């Protein structure tokens, strides 16, 4: 028997409602239990413990309702507990939860790969493989690129984030907290400058920023030893850095001319988040390989590598895989999510959300010289905070604004190499009123902190 979740979900009113101080007593109890049971290396942003979610609202164990402008780091794009997704998960779980695709294959895996092959940029022949996490997808994209080119070097960028496994720690830029004390790191990873319009020399174009990066790669590594250039089309953890127009196309072109595999890490930007199916679509950039995760599966662990058929098919049978990769329940959740994105035009929703968010953030920037930049695309928007009149990062202001929002029942996240960026990643199904209310709380909190 599959119980329908509709009754539960309907209980989650789309409203902000605080019934205790934050954190409430039950959350405080859980925090105490946690500190005796959970390794402190795993940290949490919110001071409360979640009991349930619905749409764009999270309800904590004390009955407080939060407006979720973080989506579990860009994951629950279709909202929490979307009935279509819950139903797909329940139905699949009732049939079978696991066979291991490498033992007993099933249709859901094939169908997710078909969806990835169709929806990722470019209409060339593509193949996909499925994994469990963003980091695992990035690792496998590098494996494919190395195998197909017979080369080893990988070029990555300043401020990049690609994961926490050994290879992806090497690919990630920021030392604390991600890499500190965890070496030695994987070799043959080379870092070059990113296009970062706020901090680049004034007037530097995307093409010039690409030239700066690629000249370094050419001189210090040598194009004929480079397997891949790996880039987030809009950086996520590194600060929602949107490269100047022309940057990505120039990199794609440089790679194509030299037999270097161009890998777009769309783990955070993918699946309608930026107002297109993928962030690369904005400039018509066609990567050779694309990594996806997060938004694909409404929170079920699922990730993919999709790319040119000749690259993906280069790897011998048995060379890619994993016990859980492409889990059938996760695939069912992904197929229901993708169908919702398509039928509900969530890319269009992301663009509308982006306009509303950018409006409020732009007003904040006009009021406060400490807001140095408003940037992002679609439902992926941020402000970068600095000491007024300088470009010196102000992480304390970002932390104070985020904590203030959390106390007032609005989930916002920070990011950035210096921790001085407030980022907003609302579920793409959020209602206008709820979004407006969340943004007013953010604006009032920022007014207080930056006064």
**How is residue 152 written in tokens?**
């080893």
**Looking at beta carbons, which residue is closest to ligand PLZ?**
134
Nearest Cα to Cα of residue 208 among 244, 262, 162? 244
Q: Distances in Å between the alpha carbon of 427 and those of 150, 272, 300, 347? A: 41, 11, 15, 11
Inter-residue contact 265 to 271 (CB < 8 Å):
no
User: Which residue, 135 or 223, is less far from ligand PLZ as judged by CB?
Assistant: 135
CB within 8 Å of 33: residues ≥ 6 apart: none
Half-sphere exposure of 206 (CA within 13 A, CB side): 15
User: Which residue, 73 or 356, is less far from ligand PLZ as judged by CB?
Assistant: 73
User: In the complex, what is the shortest distance from the CB of residue 268 to ligand PLZ, in angstroms, rounded to a whole number?
Assistant: 4
User: In the complex, what is the shortest distance from the CB of residue 291 to ligand PLZ, in angstroms, rounded to a whole number?
Assistant: 7
User: In the complex, what is the shortest distance from the CB of residue 436 to ligand PLZ, in angstroms, rounded to a whole number?
Assistant: 27
SS3 call for 52: strand
User: Which residue, 134 or 326, is less far from ligand PLZ as judged by CB?
Assistant: 134
User: Which residue, 174 or 368, is less far from ligand PLZ as judged by CB?
Assistant: 174
Binding site for ligand PLZ (CB under 6 A): 73, 133-135, 138, 161-164, 232, 236-237, 265, 267-268, 293
User: Which residue, 200 or 232, is less far from ligand PLZ as judged by CB?
Assistant: 232
User: In the complex, what is the shortest distance from the CB of residue 171 to ligand PLZ, in angstroms, rounded to a whole number?
Assistant: 9
CA distance 391 to 41: 31
Inter-residue contact 401 to 442 (CB < 8 Å):
yes
> How deeply is 426 buried, as exposed, middle or buried, from its count of CB atoms within 10 A (0-12, 13-18, 19+)?
buried
User: Which residue, 62 or 265, is less far from ligand PLZ as judged by CB?
Assistant: 265
User: Which residue, 138 or 189, is less far from ligand PLZ as judged by CB?
Assistant: 138
User: Which residue, 263 or 434, is less far from ligand PLZ as judged by CB?
Assistant: 263
User: In the complex, what is the shortest distance from the CB of residue 74 to ligand PLZ, in angstroms, rounded to a whole number?
Assistant: 7
Q: Which residue in the block uniquely carries the two structure tokens 């996760």?
A: 330
User: In the complex, what is the shortest distance from the CB of residue 297 to ligand PLZ, in angstroms, rounded to a whole number?
Assistant: 11
User: In the complex, what is the shortest distance from the CB of residue 58 to ligand PLZ, in angstroms, rounded to a whole number?
Assistant: 18
Question: CA Rg, the chain, in Å?
Answer: 22
SS3 call for 226: strand
Question: End-to-end alpha-carbon separation of the chain, Å?
Answer: 57
User: In the complex, what is the shortest distance from the CB of residue 177 to ligand PLZ, in angstroms, rounded to a whole number?
Assistant: 8
CA 289-164-416 angle, to 5 degrees, is 85
Q: Residue-wise over 20-47: b if at least 16 C-beta within 10 A, else e?
A: bebbbebbbeeeeeeeeeeeeeeeeebe
User: In the complex, what is the shortest distance from the CB of residue 125 to ligand PLZ, in angstroms, rounded to a whole number?
Assistant: 25
User: Which residue, 19 or 38, is less far from ligand PLZ as judged by CB?
Assistant: 38
Inter-residue contact 128 to 304 (CB < 8 Å):
yes
């Amino acid at each position: 028997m599959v119980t329908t979740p509709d009754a539960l979900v309907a209980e989650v009113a789309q409203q902000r409602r605080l019934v205790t101080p934050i954190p409430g007593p039950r959350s405080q109890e859980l925090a105490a239990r946690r500190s005796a049971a959970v390794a402190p290396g795993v940290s949490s942003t919110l001071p409360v413990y979640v009991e349930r979610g619905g749409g764009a609202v999270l309800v904590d164990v004390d009955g407080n309702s939060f407006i979720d402008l973080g989506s579990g780091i860009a994951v629950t794009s279709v909202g929490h507990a979307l009935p279509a997704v819950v139903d797909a998960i329940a139905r699949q779980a009732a049939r079978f939860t696991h066979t291991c695709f490498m033992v007993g294959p099933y249709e859901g895996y094939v169908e997710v790969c078909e969806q990835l092959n169709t929806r990722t940029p470019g209409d060339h022949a593509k193949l996909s493989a499925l994994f469990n996490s963003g980091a695992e997808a990035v690792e496998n994209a590098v494996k494919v690129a190395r195998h197909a080119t017979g080369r080893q070097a990988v070029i990555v960028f300043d401020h990049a984030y690609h994961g926490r496994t050994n290879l992806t720690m090497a690919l990630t830029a920021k030392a604390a907290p991600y890499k500190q004390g965890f070496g030695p790191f994987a070799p043959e990873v080379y870092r070059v400058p990113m296009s970062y319009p706020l901090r680049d020399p004034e007037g530097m174009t995307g093409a010039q920023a690409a030239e700066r990066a690629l000249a370094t790669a050419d001189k210090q590594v040598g194009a004929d030893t480079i397997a891949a250039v790996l880039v987030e089309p809009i950086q996520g953890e590194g600060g929602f850095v949107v490269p100047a127009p022309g940057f990505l196309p120039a990199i794609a072109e440089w790679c194509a001319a030299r037999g270097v595999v161009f890998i777009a890490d769309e783990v955070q930007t993918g699946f309608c988040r930026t107002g297109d199916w993928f962030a690369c679509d904005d400039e018509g950039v066609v990567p050779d390989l694309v990594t996806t995760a997060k938004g694909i599966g409404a929170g079920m662990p699922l990730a993919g590598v999709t790319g040119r058929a000749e690259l993906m098919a280069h790897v011998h049978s048995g060379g890619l895989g994993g016990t859980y990769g492409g889990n059938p329940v996760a695939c069912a959740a992904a197929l229901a999510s993708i169908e919702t994105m398509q039928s509900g035009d969530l890319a269009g929703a992301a663009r509308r959300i982006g306009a509303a968010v950018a409006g409020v953030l732009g007003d904040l920037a006009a009021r406060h010289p400490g807001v140095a930049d408003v940037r992002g695309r679609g439902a992926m928007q941020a402000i970068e905070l600095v000491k007024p009149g300088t470009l010196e990062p102000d992480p304390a202001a970002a932390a104070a604004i985020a904590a203030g929002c959390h106390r007032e029942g609005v989930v916002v996240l920070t990011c950035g190499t210096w921790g001085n960026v407030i980022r907003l990643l609302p579920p793409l199904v959020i209602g206008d009123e709820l979004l407006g209310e969340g943004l007013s709380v953010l604006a009032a909190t920022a007014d207080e902190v930056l006064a």
